[in-house]
Amino acid sequence: MSTGAAGVGSAALAWYLDRHRGSAGAGWLMATLSAQALWALAYAVGLLATDLTVRAYAEAVAWVGMVWLGPLFLGFALAYTGRSALLRSRGFRLLFAVPASASLLALTHPLHDVLWLFFRRSPEFGITTVRYAIQLPGYAALLVGLGTAAVGVLLLVGAIQTYGPLYRRESTAIALSTLFPATGVVVWLVGAGPWPAVNFGAPLLLFHVALDAYAFVGTRLFETAPTTQRAAKRSALDDLAEPLLVLDTEAAVVNMNRRAETLFDVDGRDAVPVPFADLAGADLDDVRARGELTVGGPDGGIFAVSHTPLSDQRGDDVGGLLVLYEVTVERRRKQQLSVLNRILRHNLRNELTVARGERPGDPGERGRPRRPDAGGGDRRVQRPAARDRAEGEAVRPDPGGATSTCRSSR
């Protein structure tokens, strides 16, 4: 019963993940869940089969699911944690030769004994369980599956330690989910326990499905993929003194430094992921077009905006970095200089107007020289001219050649 439920649950989760197709690791996880469903459903059918030939083919199909599970899970872990370049490496591609060969050998088992020998019934709990002697190629295929699954778990644990609490619940749930079926398979391989004919890895997949459902449905596994943060780490801006926001492809803030937490008065551990518009009160495209952002609050001000796109190792867009540079003081200084400039220009214009003999208060008289008036306003200009004329007459020679006295002496 639990084995069939695990198979149906795995298939349902694979169908549910189709809405996240295109997200980092989603395709690989869908393939992993499909292999998991194939293993569980085939094993459940074999437990109910009465014919030994049908039971043998059901066991072979279950083997196909088992041997593919580990490599596919490793592919998911690599893609989800931002190591997608390794997916195209020759070593990773060669790794799939093991499950492909094991699947071919399992489905052609009546023609050879490469994977197992002495296939026979060994009923337990009233169901059709079987026992057989696994050969060296069979052990190798199963151990490769277990080993690759273990590497995938380690990668997810590394994501927990590196990226903090944002991915802790999702990654922890998926990492723990692999322990239950892996333990069952190991016990079955070594023949330990009172029921060596039962592969408890298949029924324990039910716990796997429950934890996966929590990670997929109860949290935001693919809405907060750590591949965005991994790209941000490579930019070496984590310790920047200015406010720093890490954005995903949907313009949601998935991480921020302490300066940004202080600026927006939020706790980065609990506030993210949050849409940029909700955090900053402005649309991201408008902010990038204006090149500045005004933030209120005691630590707010006017900030210049610098946006840097982020891409993974394949060149795909995974988000961006938004750095805020405070320009409040520079803006105030610019305004003060502008006011001072206007004052100086006004004062200098008035001084120049006086120096040119213009009345600054009468616009109609500007540019026109003032005429001497009959009063005393221009007497300082008239007196020196009269004195020059008097002195000139005092020294003018007589027609006869003698110097005459001044008229005032006669």
> Is 122 in contact with 131 (CB distance < 8 Å)?
yes
Residue-wise pLDDT tens digits, 194-250? 787 788 888 888 888 888 777 766 555 665 555 565 555 545 455 667 888 888 888
Q: What's the DSSP call for residue 124? A: B
Whether the model pTM is above 0.85: no
Dist. CA 59–CA 17, nearest whole Å: 28
pLDDT > 70 fraction of the chain, expressed in percent and rounded: 72
pLDDT at 399: 45
Closest alpha carbon to 188 in 15, 333, 66:
66
Alpha helices in 17-110 (DSSP H): 26-48, 52-80, 90-95, 97-107
Top-confidence residue, 396 or 268: 268
* Beta-carbon count within 10 A of 230 CB: 22
Q: Is the dihedral of CA 397, 400, 401, 406 positive or negative?
A: negative
Residue-wise pLDDT tens digits, 275-319? 888 888 889 989 888 888 888 877 778 888 888 888 766 677 888
pLDDT at 406: 37
Highest mean pLDDT among 197-201, 328-332, 391-395: 197-201
Alpha helices in 164-257 (DSSP H): 168-177, 179-190, 205-213, 227-234
Highest mean pLDDT among 14-23, 27-36, 219-228, 307-316: 27-36
Dist. CA 62–CA 181, nearest whole Å: 13
Contacts with 261 (C-beta within 8 Å, 6 or more apart), sequence order: 267, 268, 271
Phi-psi domain of 395 (left: phi exceeds 0; alpha: psi -120 through 50; beta: other): alpha
> Is 70 in contact with 77 (CB distance < 8 Å)?
no
Dist. CA 85–CA 181, nearest whole Å: 29
**Max Cα-Cα span within the chain:** 166
Mean pLDDT, the chain, as a whole number? 76
Dist. CA 213–CA 12, nearest whole Å: 10
Residue-wise pLDDT tens digits, 129-187? 888 888 999 999 999 998 998 898 888 777 766 655 556 676 677 778 888 888 888 88
Weakest mean pLDDT among 62-66, 301-305, 361-365: 361-365
Closest alpha carbon to 228 in 318, 290, 314:
318
Top-confidence residue, 233 or 19: 19
* Beta-carbon count within 10 A of 397 CB: 9
Axis-axis angle for helices 179-190, 205-213 (nearest 10): 170
